Structures are given as structure tokens and as C-alpha cells.
Structure 1
């Protein structure tokens, strides 16, 4: 039976095509995990084409290791079911993390087998290592949330930024890097700066990517794929940079210095590892960045909805950064990136709001989410869209 030939399917047809049992579908209906799109006049369940997408998501999340209760919480508040591509991308990210974890466990088991083959004795620490790896299995619910949150924050800019050049492309071009130089990036994250500009990289550059998080470095390697061999990677704390004095011609800190606890120490370390005449580039946001988003949140005055995390950049912003950088480097200048958002759909806005630390949908009823959605839809209908200020830029200084 072709999906194109029908718009609704009986429970038997749906189960057969999806490869699940009738019992499973009835149970998912009972617990509210997957309700049929319709019931016919005698009470029989009828499923739509969109229900295949919902079921696929449920089965994938179940395979990853989430409980039905966790999956129910995700599905309950996922009001953007039509965005199948975004959902599949998130699922793919988590599946790849799951594969990496399984491969680590397999490697530990293989080590134990090889030890038994070679000496017929086993270091019981190997068994403990295996158990620890299994018992400290990734918290897949948190992994899913992290991946969803990151994608929500990226997606709103990709969809609705008025400057289509994109921050990473613009920032890279502003660096105006010369040939035969050594480059250090602090807090490289998933290496987006280099992935998006790979064709512009000179073969004569020596590039070292660092991050405080080993997980982020793994994401960077995965994001670069086969191109990762072009780079060096190292776990580094910006407050204690483990490289010799005068090691680099350029140091880049792209939207990361506001995370540092002791920023003066970081500046001192950056200056130390820069060569004389070397350049330092530090990007950040301004105090008005996404201010309309904060106003939207504040309007609802809900106890469990906060804008506190959006104030994180106060430690190092466009407004206070010039004086801070100028204490350590000379000829410091600020350059702003001209951009804003004009959002014409409520759901990416809602996804962005709940992607911020401290905001989670589990504290809100479905009625609350619908109220938020209707309010935003009304504003969009009245004005044609919601304007949101973006204020980002970077400081350039020289040693």
C-alpha cells in the first residue's frame, strides 16, 4: 500500500506498514504517547501520514535509551511535529553519540578479552572499568535536550537573520589572516568557524583548536570529519594556557570569554602565548542583543520562565570589553556585525526561549505553551513578524 494512495489508515494497516504490533499502538494510545489522528463513527482508530513521523521519533528515542515517560514529556510539548528535518537531525546527533559510547565499551571489553587470551589472567580493574562505562551511560534525556537546545539557538538565526552572510563567514573574513602563521582558537566549540570557512584556509597555516570541554573537542572532530587531520586539538583552560611563551601569531576567542571566571587571568595568558606583534580577536554580544526576546518572556511573568541566563555576557560585552582588552593589548578597535531577526513563525521563537538554561517545558502545562504560542501568533499576524535586535561584534588588539 502506498502512502500516496491514502490519507488515513486503520490501526491494522498502520501497524503493518510501521512494523509494530497492534498491542503497542493501543498501549501508546492509552498512555497518551501516540494518539490516533481520528476515530471513525464506530470508534476505530485512524492514523494519518504525519503519525508515521511521530511513531518514528518515539521508536528512535526508545532505541537511544529514553524511557517512555521521558519520551512522553518530549512528545507532549513538541508542537512543531511538521518540522521533520530538524527532528531527524537531532535524532542523528544523539544516535552518533550513542554509537561512540557503545564503541568505547566494546574497546574496554576487547582489552579484557585480549588480556585473558595472552595471560589467562584478568586485571579486575578492567572489569570495573567496563561496569563503570556501562553504569555511567550517557544521560540520553539530557543529551537529547542539549542537542535540541543547541539546534534551536542556531536555527532561529539561520531562518530569520536579515544578514544572510552569516556571523561565522563574516567574522572569519574580518580576521584578514596573513600567510605562514600559527593560530590558536580558545573555546572552539564544534569548530563551526572552520567548517563554514574551510575553503578559505591557507595550507601554510598551523591551526590549533582548543576547548575546556573534552566533549566539545570530540564534537569539533566529528563536525570536521575527514578534514580534522588538518588541525591540532588540545583540552585547554583559557586561564591556564598550556603552550610556551610567544607560540602563536593569532589567538581567537569567539563568543567564549564571558564564560571565564577570571577574565584578567585569561587576558594575561593570551598575551603570554602571543608573539610580539601578534593579533588577538575576541567576539561577544552587546547588552541589547535579543532584547525583544527577553521582553516577550518578561511579559508572561511566569515563575518558571527566566531571562537570567541571557545576562551571562555581562562579564564581557561590547559595551565594557574595549576597556578590558585595552589594558592588555594595543591599538584595540571594535567592529560590529550588522544584523537582526525578523521572525514570522511562533514555534522557532518558543523553541529558542525554552533552549535557554533555566527554562524547561516540563514545568509548564500544555495549556501554558498554547497560550504562549497564540500570543506570539497574534503579534506576528498583526505586525507581519516579530523584530528582534541582534548586537554582536568583536575586538581586535595587538601585542
Structure 2
């Protein structure tokens, strides 16, 4: 290799265009080491090594700005660390794209013949909320402080038995069944209703390969149909169910009271309907104390707790119009956090009304949480989740 190379020579050796070389120069990624008597840019062996790194990083998805940062920190970060960091970024991007694709599929599955953009925007907002709920549920499942799978707790609370006919509204991924597959009774039937374009598609495929392992005379079906359409409920009411569950669903349904009435009409006398309360929990007491311990004003926590309690009471009254008895069941779900940022995100999600104050004090909150995690190894957030068990 020549001691010095011109732009054309180094570009040819590296397999890039002269134009690309000019861009790298303009962006400060690869500067010439000198100039010839004719004022031509000159490069050397170290220049070629830098150029090869630029090419490699560009091929694995680095932007030019990211490449520049990597070159500037070349001595501080190993090749493995650089590639692992980029892999994580790319996986995050892929996940975000997959979520966006899921929203589009859901919108296509639910739009009418003559949709308008307001309808589509509303559907996508609901799907984004659903995806956020999914993420929080997966996190809670993998960080349960008591080590008990969340859907095992829910299953236990419903006292399923032989002969039950279950209506699973918004069946989604089917964790209630997957996590308790070996406990499903004989002569047990489940009709799961959901739309195409979400996790129910995965459950449908799962059942194809696993249905044969269910106990005698037991079956689980996924029925793709929109629960906001009257014809769906006409089909549901052709049967009568002993139990119905609508977990993590009502935030995506228009006309809650109509939905509750439809569920009631689908149950046998004495049948059970289980639905989330979306009310207060031990989490509110946890944050009320935690924020006070930080020396901050916790009135936004108290205000949100009071609002949630009012919503919970109103929902219970609504349910009581269609069911003889409505019981509140609180299932414990303490969660371990070893990352202050994740716990901070949970705080902002829970208390959106106080977001301005929370963001203003973010540095202080994170410092407090970080210190507590360093001292104790983790933070256990005492929490529970409420369900109304409604008896017809």
C-alpha cells in the first residue's frame, strides 16, 4: 500500500464513491492528512482504517451523526460495546415499527366502509394505549416481587370448574389460559372474542398446535368479531355463559353501559362477570408516602386517588344496575424495580394530571430513587389491582 493516497485511490480501495468521501469530509468524519503540491487531498493507512469503520457502521444502521460520535469516542468504547449498543437501538426501532404496524392492522380490521380520519385516529390511540398496557403487564410479570405469575392469581380468583362456559371478551394473547393450561378442567369451553391485527392472531395460531392437549370435552376458540357491533352480540347471545371476563378492555370500548348490559344478557342466572375496576390501588399509598419522603408536594397523588375512587364508585353503581351483587376483589401485585427511570415512567403514567410538576422535579425524584436503589438493591412498589366480580 502506498504511504499516501489521493481521494480517488482511497475511495477505490475501500469500495466507496468519491461523492461519499466528500460527504464524510464535510461531516467531519474523515479529514485528509495533508495535501499534494497540486492541492489534492491525501490520505494514509490510518485514514483507510477509519474509512473502513465508517463503512462498517453505516452498513449496520448507524447514522452519520452516530458514526461521528463513535469515532470521537473510539478509545473509550470497544467494538463489541459499540455494536451491542447499536443492536439495542435497532431492536428498539424494529419494536416501534412492529407496534405501528399493529396499530394499522387494527385500524384496517375495525374501520367501516366509509371511515373518516377521526375514527382512524381514535382506533390508533386506543391501540397505542393497549400496547402500553401490554408492556406494563409484561414488565410486571417478569418483576413480580412475590414470584407468582399474575395470570395465575387472576385464574385462581375466578374459581373455574368443570362444566363452565366462559366468554372471554378481548381475549388478546390469551395469557389467562396459556399460563394455566395444565389446570383447565374437563368439559370446559371458552369463546374468546377479539379483532384481527392484535395479539389474538397469535392466540389463534397457538391454539392450532395445542388444542389437542386440552382435557376431555374442553375447547378454546378465538372468534374474530368487533365487540362494538350489534351483530357480534346477537351471535354471543345465541349461547348462555356461566362466566364472562373483560380484562383490560373497557378503555377501548365505546358505550360502556351498553357493553355491560350485553354481558349481563349473555350470562345464565347466577353467572359471574369479572372486569377491571380501573380505580385506586396500594400504588397510590406507595406514591403518596414516597413523594412526601422526597420533600415534595404530594397533592397531585391525593387528587388523582380521589378521582379514581369517584370513578370506581360510579362504575360499581353502574354495574349494580345489571347485576344482583357486585364485589370488589383486590389481587396483590407488588413489583420490584431496580431502575429509577422505569419507576419514574410508572409515576408519570399514573399521575398524568401532575406531569408538569413531576417533570419540574424529575432530577430530584430520580436522585432519590437512584439512592434508594443503591442503598437497598431495589425498590418494591406495594401494589394491587382491583376487579369487580358481578353476579347476575
Which deviations, in whole Å up to 9, do the C-alpha atoms of 1:249-292 show, x marking residues without a partner? 22112243466564433332211111233222223354134213
Alignment of 1:147-158 (within 5 A): 149-150=132-133, 152-158=135-141
Give the 3 Å change call, closer, same or farther, for CA 182–262 of structure 1 in structure 2: same
* Deviation at residue 12 of structure 1 after TM alignment: 6.1
Partner of 2:221: 231
1:378 aligns with 2:371: yes
Larger Rg over CA atoms: 2
Q: Is the 8 A contact 2:167 2:192 kept in 1?
A: yes
1:183 aligns with 2:177: no
Partner of 2:180: 197
Q: Which whole-Å CA distance do the structure 2 matches of 1:176 and 1:293 have between them?
A: 32
Partner of 1:349: 343
Q: Which whole-Å CA distance do the structure 2 matches of 1:49 and 1:201 have between them?
A: 47
Q: Which whole-Å CA distance do the structure 2 matches of 1:176 and 1:309 have between them?
A: 33
DSSP 3-state at the match of 2:237: coil
Partner of 1:38: 73
Give the 3 Å change call, closer, same or farther, for CA 20–294 of structure 1 in structure 2: farther
Q: Which whole-Å CA distance do the structure 1 matches of 2:383 and 2:135 have between them?
A: 16
DSSP 3-state at the match of 1:241: helix
Q: Is the 8 A contact 1:331 1:397 kept in 2?
A: yes
Q: Is the 8 A contact 2:281 2:385 kept in 1?
A: no
Alignment of 1:307-318 (within 5 A): 317=312
Q: Which whole-Å CA distance do the structure 2 matches of 1:385 and 1:179 have between them?
A: 42
Q: Is the 8 A contact 2:281 2:386 kept in 1?
A: no
Partner of 1:122: none
* Deviation at residue 52 of structure 1 after TM alignment: 0.8
Partner of 2:277: 284
Q: Is the 8 A contact 1:152 1:348 kept in 2?
A: no
Alignment of 1:1-399 (within 5 A): 20=59, 26-30=64-68, 35=70, 38-40=73-75, 47-59=78-90, 91=95, 94-95=97-98, 149-150=132-133, 152-202=135-185, 204-211=187-194, 214=195, 218-223=198-203, 225-227=205-207, 230-233=220-223, 234-237=225-228, 241-242=233-234, 243-244=236-237, 247-257=240-250, 262-291=255-284, 292-293=286-287, 317=312, 323-353=317-347, 372-382=365-375, 385-399=378-392
Q: Which whole-Å CA distance do the structure 2 matches of 1:144 and 1:252 have between them?
A: 20
Q: Which whole-Å CA distance do the structure 2 matches of 1:170 and 1:61 have between them?
A: 31
Give the 3 Å change call, closer, same or farther, for CA 322–294 of structure 1 in structure 2: same
Q: Which whole-Å CA distance do the structure 2 matches of 1:98 and 1:25 have between them?
A: 23
Which deviations, in whole Å up to 9, do the C-alpha atoms of 1:62-100 show, x marking residues without a partner? 7x5xxxxxxxxxxxxxxxxxxxxxxxxxx3x84497599
Q: Which whole-Å CA distance do the structure 2 matches of 1:190 and 1:20 have between them?
A: 36
Q: Which whole-Å CA distance do the structure 1 matches of 2:289 and 2:233 have between them?
A: 39
Give the 3 Å change call, closer, same or farther, for CA 144–252 of structure 1 in structure 2: closer
Q: Is the 8 A contact 1:238 1:266 kept in 2?
A: no
DSSP 3-state at the match of 1:218: coil
Q: Which whole-Å CA distance do the structure 2 matches of 1:261 and 1:145 have between them?
A: 16
Structure 2 residues not aligned, in runs of 5+:
1-48, 109-119, 212-219
Structure 1 residues not aligned, in runs of 5+:
1-9, 65-90, 106-135
* Deviation at residue 370 of structure 1 after TM alignment: 5.9
DSSP 3-state at the match of 1:328: coil
Q: Is the 8 A contact 1:344 1:385 kept in 2?
A: yes
Q: Which whole-Å CA distance do the structure 1 matches of 2:97 and 2:268 have between them?
A: 41
Which deviations, in whole Å up to 9, do the C-alpha atoms of 1:198-225 show, x marking residues without a partner? 33334633322224xx35x631222553
Which deviations, in whole Å up to 9, do the C-alpha atoms of 1:308-337 show, x marking residues without a partner? 9998865753x6655544442235433321
Which deviations, in whole Å up to 9, do the C-alpha atoms of 1:145-192 show, x marking residues without a partner? 779844651354234432322321111122222323321122334332
Q: Which whole-Å CA distance do the structure 2 matches of 1:237 and 1:95 have between them?
A: 25
Q: Which whole-Å CA distance do the structure 2 matches of 1:276 and 1:206 have between them?
A: 18
